[in-house]
Amino acid sequence: MHDARALIDMGDEAVRRLARRGYALDLSSLESLQSRRTQSIRVVDELRSESKSVAAEVQKTARSGGDTSALKEQARKLKERIRETEAEQEHAQHELTALLLTIPNLPADEAPDGDSEDFAVEQRRVGNPQSFAFEAKDHVDLGEAMGILDFGRATKLSGPRFSVLRGVGAALERALVSLFLDLHTRRHGYTEHSVPFLVTRKTMTGTGQLPKFEEDLFATGVADRELFLIPTAEVPLTNLYADEVVPPTQLPIALTAQTPCFRSEAGSYGRDTRGLIRQHQFSKVEMVRICAPGDSRAEMEKMVGHAEACLKELDLAYRVVTLAAGDTGFSAQLTYDIEVWLPSQSTYREISSISDFGTFQGRRAGIRTRDEHGKPTPAATVNGSGLPVGRTLAAVLEQHQQQDGSVLLPQSLVPYLGFRRITADGKPSEA
What does pTM read for this prediction? 0.92
Active-site residue 90, yes or no? no
If pLDDT is split at 50, 70 and 90, which confidence band does 162 have? very high
Q: How confident is the model at residue 270 (pLDDT cuts 50, 70, 90)?
A: low
Average pLDDT over residues 29-35: 95
pLDDT tens-digit series, residues 193-248: 999 999 999 999 999 999 999 999 999 978 889 999 999 999 999 999 999 999 99
Question: Which residues fall in the annotated binding site for ATP?
Answer: 263-265, 350-353
Catalytic residue chosen out of the listed positions 363, 368, 391, 421: 391
pLDDT of residue 431: 72
As a whole number, mean pLDDT of residues 277-305 equals 97
In the annotated binding site for L-serine, the residues are 232-234, 263, 286, 383, 385
- What number is the average pLDDT over the span 146-162? 96
Handedness of CA 326, 316, 258, 182 (dihedral sign): negative
Q: 408: buried, middle or exposed (CB in 10 Å: 19+, 13-18, 0-12)?
A: middle
| SS3 assignment, position 79 | helix
Residue 263 a catalytic site member: yes
Say if residue 130's pLDDT is above 90. no
- Give the C-alpha separation, 251 to 381, whole Å: 11
Answer yes or no: 391 catalytic: yes
pLDDT digits (tens, 9 = 90+) for 58-72: 999 999 998 999 999
Which is the catalytic residue, given 350, 370, 412, 420? 350
Domain residue limits, the chain: 4-102, 117-429
| Mean of all residue pLDDT scores within the chain | 95
**Rounded to an integer, what distance in angstroms lies between the CA atom of residue 252 and that of residue 189?**
11
Residue 34 and residue 323: Cα distance in Å, rounded? 33
**Catalytic position from the list 20, 37, 161, 263:** 263
- Asked about 350 being catalytic, the answer comes back as yes
Containing H/E element for 126? Answer: strand 121-126
CATH class of 117-429: alpha beta
Q: Centre a 10 Å sphere on the Cβ of residue 317 and count the other Cβ atoms it contains.
A: 19
- Going by the annotation, the residues of the binding site are 232-234, 263-265, 286, 350-353, 383, 385
- Is CATH 1.10.287.40 the classification given to domain 4-102? yes
Averaged pLDDT, 278-289? 96
What is the percent of the chain where pLDDT is above 70?
A: 98
Q: What is the pLDDT of residues 323-347, one digit of tens each?
A: 999 999 999 999 999 999 999 999 9
- pLDDT attached to residue 91: 94
Residue 196, preceding peptide bond in cis (omega within 30° of 0): no
Confidence tier at 268 by pLDDT (50, 70, 90)? low
pLDDT tens, position by position, 406-422: 999 999 999 999 999 99
In angstroms, rounded to a whole number, what is the distance separating the alpha carbons of residues 368 and 359? 9
Query: Helix or strand or coil: residue 208?
Result: coil
3-class DSSP state of 229: strand
* More confident position, 221 or 175: 175
- Residue 199 is predicted with a pLDDT of 97
Q: For 175-184, what is the mean pLDDT?
A: 98
pLDDT exceeds 90 at position 276: yes
367-370 vs 244-245, strand pairing mode: parallel
- In the prediction, which pLDDT does 271 show? 67
Q: Which of 37, 278, 363, 421 is catalytic?
A: 278
Tell me which of 163, 331, 353, 355 is the catalytic residue. Answer: 353
Instruction: Inform me whether the pLDDT recorded for 267 exceeds 90.
Output: no
The question of whether 278 is a catalytic residue gets the answer: yes
* Separation of alpha carbons 227 and 218, rounded Å: 9
Q: Give the CA distances from residue 7 to residues 11, 28, 104, 210, 365, in Å, rounded to whole numbers and listed in that order.
A: 6, 11, 12, 21, 19
